[in-house]
Structure 1
């Protein structure tokens, strides 16, 4: 996984993460690194995205001013879950692609992490971009955080990839980072 501006305490990885955050430099984190020493994230909230394009854009436009951001690079790995498990009490703002896999992964994250909330994962975020999407394939699923999202996706039959919302996501990160 890739992380940006995630400060932490605990061992070598905690130092690396904090130094990288001070410089606004993304860092790749592995399960092996996470297992070297106990780690605690030093943040009140963490944003989670699926696509590295979001993290890359946040790095380029915001650098050290971006809030903590974790990129799962697709389906969350054991390393992602281990790192987020070290985010004791932090609000987790989660997003994925607007496709059936993405909404399943979002639902699983909201169930797994206490205090997790969807980030730009509503019908209001989806519908303006649905015309730019690709064919929506796979088995439909519920979107319990916003039932109208699943209904809208079924009705339009379009998947919208995360990078199609890049302007909104970076605007959210800019506001949070400035606060």
Structure 2
């Protein structure tokens, strides 16, 4: 779908396995994910897509496309994420040779928009190096391991969700 380093991909999926697959697929391709609440008004979703430059929106294959995405019309390519088919064991990590370009630490990992309670929402973009630094710090302070389970309790449209989305998989939890 043309996703590579610094390419924004909107993710509009409720909390599910598909959400985790979508976010991690965007990161593996080198892109930056832009979470959009499934209940977001069309105007807000449009603003977020236009501001971030996203041309692709990922949705849940088993559910109706959210109204906020339908309202975007032909401005984006909508791709349904289906996690119901098992992945073969032993799949290796994506390499730079398989990406559209080399993934660098300063490339964007995500853009999360503020609530907009004081006006227009503002997009905050963090690079991979900042995200990894924060995740490593958090794991040093609150270590988890393969025998631990972590709950994705924070809405993925909020920056505090980043640790819940990535730290468990970094540790095999």
Is the TM-score greater than 0.5? no
Shorter-chain TM-score: which interval? 0.3 to 0.5
TM-score by length of 1: 0.32
Q: Would you tell me which structure has more helix in proportion to its own residues?
A: 1
